[in-house]
Structure 1
Amino acid sequence: MGKGGGCIFSKKRSTLEASSDQDPPNPDKDADPDPPVDFQNQNLTTTAENTSPQEVRKLKIFIIFYSMYGHVECLAKIIKKGVDSIDGVEGFLYRVPETLSTDVLEEMRVPQKEDELPVISVDELVEADGLLFGFPTRFGSMASQMKAFFDSTGRLWEQQKLAGVPAGFFVSTGTQGGGQETTAWTAITQLAHHGMLYVPIGYTFGAGMFKMDSLRGGSPYGAGVYSGDGTRIPSETELALAEHQGKYMAAMVKRFAPRSSVNGETLN
């Protein structure tokens, strides 16, 4: 659980390297007057931080995703890197169940999953202190695989087991107008009915959110990537934004975590 690995975009490409033709050199980069927020050094006081590190369990952020050609999976692994960089928080990677048959996946030339990432079960959601959901778009909203997973959480909704849990989104679209914002925007209804706390990244990425000198996925709603025909490699900026979202979410979970466990006891 939580293991990383290479990102797969097609049978011809299996690398995490950012596309060199996406982000042209920027001589003013080092003089950026508006850098991303340094969440590691912010004063985020929580119950857990007021006790001995040996006595406190790490807060858990589940990064739950569906990825067909590897782009969302790539963002998920980079987001985990960002989460894990914040003291006291750990990210865990999960897939959602596939709903398409093997024959259909082969017809669509979907690469086989070569890692051993676990498939999440509905009952495991309650173990998380924070949730990040990643999915590709289908006509401006989430893919049916992720929708089917949300549809299976009815029992948790009935009992409001996820109420108050911070949650966010990251996405992949094939084109610039394909739904970088609407895919996350239309997914907010899932969180609202569960009573979860939606955590967008806003413009906390700093000047990187304003630059227009290269093609970049992502929005104030969360990290994003353009997949093109399925073989495009994420740019350095897209990967940096994904890592930033992981850090940002971890900081928010530390600030608003509904519970902290000390010596096995749950504190509310």
Structure 2
Amino acid sequence: MGKGGGCIPSKRHRAAAAAPAPAPPPPASHSHRRERTSIPAPAAPRQVRIYVVFYSMYGHVRLLARAVARGVGSVPGARAILFRVPETLPPAVLARMEARVEADGGGEDVIPVVDTDGLPDADGFLFGFPTRFGAMPAQMQAFFDSTAPLCRHQRLAGKPAGLFVSTGTQSGGQETTAWTAITQLAHHGMLFVPIGYTFGEGMFEMGELRGGSPYGAGVFSGDGSRPPSELELALAEHHGKYMATLVKKLVHGAS
């Protein structure tokens, strides 16, 4: 045929036909696949801090505070930090009242005096105090008075808080002491957290004397010689555990 015939391929076509097909790209190595799909593990949530701030003249509230702190510490990821409110009465008056002065020993057993400037560092609070005529004592009132700068700037707003108390008798103010203290929390914008009847059957116990109410843990001190009962201490531990569980949910979410 002539030079323009279509039966004989041109040199260009023959070269293209003879060229080998390009090799497929090598498969991604296993290490490369791991780098693309690996997800860093999320950081562990920080420990929540619950400040247990109390005033105790005869030692009953101190014992409740330690029980409350044990309850907080029983919740993974929660820590209780104990603080005591400073005394305002002179030693001569305390002696006439037969008050039991600071009973903690040295070392790690010492409970420091609360510093109001550090209160915003807490995630939640449990405040404990005895009753005086159905309300909190002057020492605890003086402490709350000293938090006025925090109140002015609402530094504690939104933080949950609970209350536990001590009274001399059954009608001495287990509930009114908590009622009248709620006003302090309200002005700070804090969230009052009662325990309700979450303690279960222990809240309905009728066979023995027991302090505490739906507003919080409590103890009957009598003339000062009656220590907290096992049931009262168990209620205080429950109070701390309940509070710590709730604070964790508020800080880290429902999970």
Q: Shorter-chain TM-score: what band?
A: 0.7 to 0.9
Alpha-carbon separation, structure 2, partners of 1:258 and 1:192: 24
Residues 223-261 of structure 1: per-residue CA shift (max 9 Å, x gap): 0000000010111110110000000000010011289xx
Q: Which residue among 47, 50, 56 is the counterpart of 1:58?
A: 47
**8 Å contact from structure 2 (residues 129, 140) kept in 1:** yes
Structure 2, unpaired ranges of 5+: 1-40, 105-109
What letter matches 2:195 in structure 1?
I
Q: Find the counterpart in structure 1 of residue 141 from structure 2.
A: 147
**8 Å contact from structure 1 (residues 129, 258) kept in 2:** no
Spell out structure 1 runs of 4+ moving beyond 6 A. none
Q: Which residue among 179, 184, 194 is the counterpart of 1:200?
A: 194
Structure 1, unpaired ranges of 5+: 1-49, 260-268
Identity %: 63
Alpha-carbon separation, structure 2, partners of 1:200 and 1:257: 18
CA displacement at 1:114 relative to structure 2? 2.9
What is the Cα-based RMSD across aligned positions, in Å? 1.4
Alpha-carbon separation, structure 2, partners of 1:51 and 1:85: 24
Q: Find the counterpart in structure 2 of residue 84 from structure 1.
A: 73
Alpha-carbon separation, structure 1, partners of 2:147 and 2:42: 34
What SS does structure 2 have at the residue aligned with 1:202?
Answer: coil
Q: Find the counterpart in structure 1 of residue 20 from structure 2.
A: none
Alpha-carbon separation, structure 2, partners of 1:225 and 1:114: 19
Residues 44-90 of structure 1: per-residue CA shift (max 9 Å, x gap): xxxxxx9433xx43110000000000000000000000000001100
What letter matches 1:230 in structure 2?
G
Q: Which residue among 89, 94, 102 is the counterpart of 1:105?
A: 94
What SS does structure 1 have at the residue aligned with 2:83?
Answer: strand
Alpha-carbon separation, structure 2, partners of 1:212 and 1:98: 36
Q: Find the counterpart in structure 2 of residue 235 from structure 1.
A: 229
**8 Å contact from structure 2 (residues 57, 101) kept in 1:** no
What SS does structure 2 have at the residue aligned with 1:134?
Answer: strand
Q: Find the counterpart in structure 2 of residue 161 from structure 1.
A: 155
Using structure 1 for the length normalisation, give the TM-score. Answer: 0.75
Alpha-carbon separation, structure 2, partners of 1:118 and 1:258: 28
Q: Find the counterpart in structure 1 of residue 112 from structure 2.
A: 118
Pairing 1:1-268 to 2, within 5 Å after superposition: 51-53=42-44, 56-115=45-104, 116-257=110-251
More RCO (CA 8 Å, sep 6+): 1
Alpha-carbon separation, structure 2, partners of 1:100 and 1:157: 25
CA displacement at 1:112 relative to structure 2? 2.4
Alpha-carbon separation, structure 1, partners of 2:146 and 2:87: 13
**8 Å contact from structure 1 (residues 96, 119) kept in 2:** yes
**8 Å contact from structure 1 (residues 63, 132) kept in 2:** yes
Alpha-carbon separation, structure 2, partners of 1:84 and 1:217: 22
Alpha-carbon separation, structure 1, partners of 2:166 and 2:251: 28
What letter matches 1:146 in structure 2?
M
What letter matches 2:172 in structure 1?
G
Larger of the two Rg values belongs to structure: 2
